[in-house]
Structure 1
């Protein structure tokens, strides 16, 4: 019996919950006491909570509440999981990142030597190209920071424990920080950012929070039961963004554009702007209402749309846009050299 098989066998024996002496394990697996000590140390190094009691009636047992039966995986199944881990590692701020590393170590340690040599450095044979920066939607970009990872891990802990979480959320549109208490339901990943879904206790409504905007997240001792009908799949396909845009419109006001039907069609193909509010105005043009009223977002959008697009509101931004377009026209008014 090889060391891996023997370690799994020891784990299976200890899973019964009883105190088992090293001598009993030595006799069962027909190896020396020294070998049993090494096998137990190997289990502990892999994160298995083996407790030892000294004395004439001492021995080993698993820590209370722990039970992890051995899982038999084929070489291809293990390789498939390592490919998935390599993909996840390419994402900024991975949920439970430290646990992911120990899980990978356990998978690799269970492989035969030939496969272990090949897959112990999966990056040699598996390449994951990270998502390129989206310059047009710069507001959706965020550098990875420690607080982001801590918020993501804490939210996952709340989901697994069925406990509420409390955190501070930064709203860049209003330049304010508010404290929230949330019952965490699920997480989703969209265009290189993590979003956290849960019921806001104060608003009594499902809310979506960007993980990089959370600070000082803690898991409280208040337990809750997530509704059985909730599924994070209901938020995919941009449904979460459509829902959020309509809430932002109520909270922060609206920007309004008048565009041609062709420009409206182009906007409806964009992953972000397709969730705006589109209303034909009866003249062949389309009114488009957006939650973001900043010049930093609206001016580039109107330049991209080109002639036929008009900024209706906020009216205070019209003069600034006109001056910017006039300067561009002046720069391009002369004859080409």
Structure 2
């Protein structure tokens, strides 16, 4: 029996419960030192073998490594395969390697005809990506992150209840920051994943875009999940309202005066609805947006049209006035025709 066959045999025995090194050495007719090397080989492959010291000790698999068998009907199996095909249409699929192996097991349980159908899930399930948002353009980042790697790493942290170390880039502030996060969940919004957890250094909750993660590493530091901390608290983009209030304190703000109808239109937008709307003065509403990028603010004011006034900052106001005057020159009045 070679080393690979022996390691597989050890793994099969451990699925039945704890075994001592002496017992395993006797079972395979090798030395205890050889068993130590075989176990190290299994652990190097990612198999969670735990060691218990003492007279009653031995090796065992982590208690949650192999789940108990679950009996599924054909319809339940098909429903899971449809859900998997749907998830694969996203820009990143959490735990994609584990999903591949689970899918193979589910397919193997189906009759041949159904297996052939669901093995090509993209033929029967499609997902449409959100269109580009031309009124809220986003800056490019210097080194685009690997969203798949970030989501997988974060989820492994969630499953193991271990902290993750993240290097994250913020293109709006042109800075790269390291975080030590207790991971609690992930959120999918507008074709991208967000990572939600507790910032250990600041003692506050944090939501980070996965595609802006430069590096991610699951640390050896375990933590106890906070029962009161749920990703559901971020639904409705509550995080964006909090972020806008923080951005107002950290940087410059664009101030608009708009009509009540235009304010109502902005409140329907996924992003601008979280801006600060001041109580109306007569027919006008003041809107404060924590962004002074001309490529963002000027198209927005032009899109809102007559009735929308850019009050501040003054350099943007002057630039908009010049652009509108240039446009006006292309449309002579009826008296001038």
- TM-score normalized by structure 1? 0.77
Question: Would the alpha carbon gap of residues 293 and 48 (structure 1) be closer, same or farther in structure 2, given more than 3 Å must change?
Answer: closer
Question: Would the alpha carbon gap of residues 157 and 317 (structure 1) be closer, same or farther in structure 2, given more than 3 Å must change?
Answer: same
| 1:140 shift after superposition | 8.5
Alignment match, 1:322: 321
SS of 1:331's equivalent?
Answer: coil
**Does 2:268 match 1:269?**
yes
* Counterpart Cα distance in 1 of 2:107 and 2:139: 36
Contact 2:145 2:210 in 1 (8 A): no
* Counterpart Cα distance in 2 of 1:244 and 1:230: 18
Alignment match, 1:244: 243
Alignment match, 1:174: 173
1:12-27 correspondence to structure 2 within 5 Å: 15-17=15-17
SS of 2:278's equivalent?
Answer: strand
Contact 1:208 1:244 in 2 (8 A): no
Question: Would the alpha carbon gap of residues 253 and 91 (structure 1) be closer, same or farther in structure 2, given more than 3 Å must change?
Answer: same
Q: Which runs of 5+ in 1 are unaligned?
A: 1-10, 20-46, 52-60
CA RMSD of aligned residues (A): 3.2
Alignment match, 1:307: 306
SS of 1:100's equivalent?
Answer: helix
| 1:314 shift after superposition | 1.8
Question: Would the alpha carbon gap of residues 62 and 206 (structure 1) be closer, same or farther in structure 2, given more than 3 Å must change?
Answer: closer
SS of 2:311's equivalent?
Answer: strand
SS of 1:206's equivalent?
Answer: strand
| 1:12 shift after superposition | 11
Question: Would the alpha carbon gap of residues 68 and 62 (structure 1) be closer, same or farther in structure 2, given more than 3 Å must change?
Answer: farther
SS of 1:139's equivalent?
Answer: coil
Contact 2:90 2:127 in 1 (8 A): no
Contact 2:162 2:223 in 1 (8 A): yes
Contact 1:12 1:70 in 2 (8 A): no
* Counterpart Cα distance in 2 of 1:266 and 1:187: 30
Alignment match, 1:118: 117
SS of 1:280's equivalent?
Answer: coil
Q: Which runs of 5+ in 2 are unaligned?
A: 1-10, 20-44, 50-58
* Counterpart Cα distance in 2 of 1:307 and 1:178: 42
Using the TM superposition, name which of 238-247 and 84-93 deviates more.
238-247
Deviation readout 1:59-88 (Å, 9 max, x if unpaired): xx9955432222111111111111111111
| 1:249 shift after superposition | 1.8
* Counterpart Cα distance in 1 of 2:179 and 2:196: 13
